[in-house]
Structure 1
Amino acid sequence: MSKSIGTEPFTVRLEVRSYELDPQLHVNGAVYQQYADHSRFACVQAAGVSVEQLIGSGLGPVNLETIIKYHHELRGGDLVDVSCTWVWGEGKTYRVEHVLSLPDGTVAAEVSHVSGLLDLNARRLVADPAAQWRKRAEKPELLCLS
């Protein structure tokens, strides 16, 4: 399930699988980042951006920093809603923020990325990543671009 209504962030719902658990029977820390990555990729697809075409044009999205704040454990069989909100500023980087929450609204974790678009030939970040995403998106509002 995915949604984006008005000013609400794009969200996907995932079910915690048994192989994602650590010996204490809660979700392994690395999986929180995978959930955020899944949400971001689903958001990009829903916005109509072809990642294959983006890479084919010589640009690749990169994460430069990831911060995970844990609030409440996730356990096997839990359903988790993973939001995706893009935060744009000036310069070569932008933020993508995710809130992982249980269906009752309990926040399990927050994952925040500082990201950029890498020119794959020059191996440098592009100067205006928002413009590059905007021109490729059929629904730029899902990427918080108007």
Structure 2
Amino acid sequence: MAVELSSVHMEVRSYEIDPQHHVNGSVYQQYADHSRFACVRAAGIDIDELLGSGFGPVNLETVIRYHNELRGGDEVDVSCAWIWGEGKTYRVEHVLRRGDGEIAAEVQHVSGLLDLKARRLTSDPATQWRSRAKRPELLGFS
């Protein structure tokens, strides 16, 4: 498991609740997306500049593991940890933790960086991300 590098704090809103009075499943992914975007911004990367230079992040696979329900009014901390390897993809892992400390869910993404002209994944996404980051440690770089 990766080290949690960044976290955002949110409150469950009433419109995110399903008929069973817990958070709708798709909202967990939205929380993870929000956390990842906040992490990128905190690392000093301007998404408009990234897109303007011809690259766009894409999710290729998302897995959600539910542990404990989130309900309306609950507070949740959503971590963001980046895991780099070789090749065209990388992973981003999120842990959604309730205010009482219990893990509500884990969300894991396999992602890539799309070359917007070629419409193909770039062969070395880590280099592209690292070169743009003012705080690369927030993206898992040492």
TM-score, structure 1 normalization = 0.94
Specify the alignment match of 1:36 in structure 2: 32
Q: What is the aligned counterpart of 1:92 among 88, 94, 109?
A: 88
Q: What is the aligned counterpart of 2:75 among 72, 79, 90?
A: 79
Contact map agreement 2:31 2:78 (CA 8 A) in 1: yes
Partners of 1:141 and 1:61 in 2: CA distance: 18
In the alignment, structure 1 segments of 5+ residues that lack a partner are: 1-6
Q: Which runs of 4+ in 1 moved over 4 A?
A: none
Tell me, yes or no, if structure 1 residue 48 matches structure 2 residue 34: no
SS of residue paired to 2:51 = helix
1:60-139 aligned at under 5 Å gives the runs 60-139=56-135
| Aligned residue type for 2:140 | C
Specify the alignment match of 1:24 in structure 2: 20
SS of residue paired to 2:109 = strand
Partners of 1:73 and 1:12 in 2: CA distance: 18
Worse-matched range after superposition: 102-111 or 21-30: 102-111
| Aligned residue type for 1:34 | Q
TM-fit CA distance, 1:9: 2.1
Partners of 1:77 and 1:145 in 2: CA distance: 35
How big is each residue's C-alpha offset from its partner over 1:39-90, in whole Å with a ceiling of 9 and x where there is no partner?
0000000000000000000000000000000000000000000000000000
Partners of 2:9 and 2:60 in 1: CA distance: 26
Specify the alignment match of 1:11 in structure 2: 7
TM-fit CA distance, 1:8: 4.4
Total equivalences in the alignment: 140
| Aligned residue type for 1:122 | A
Instruction: Please report the RMSD computed on the Cα atoms of aligned residues, expressed in angstroms.
Output: 0.8
| Aligned residue type for 1:115 | S
Identity of aligned residues (%): 73
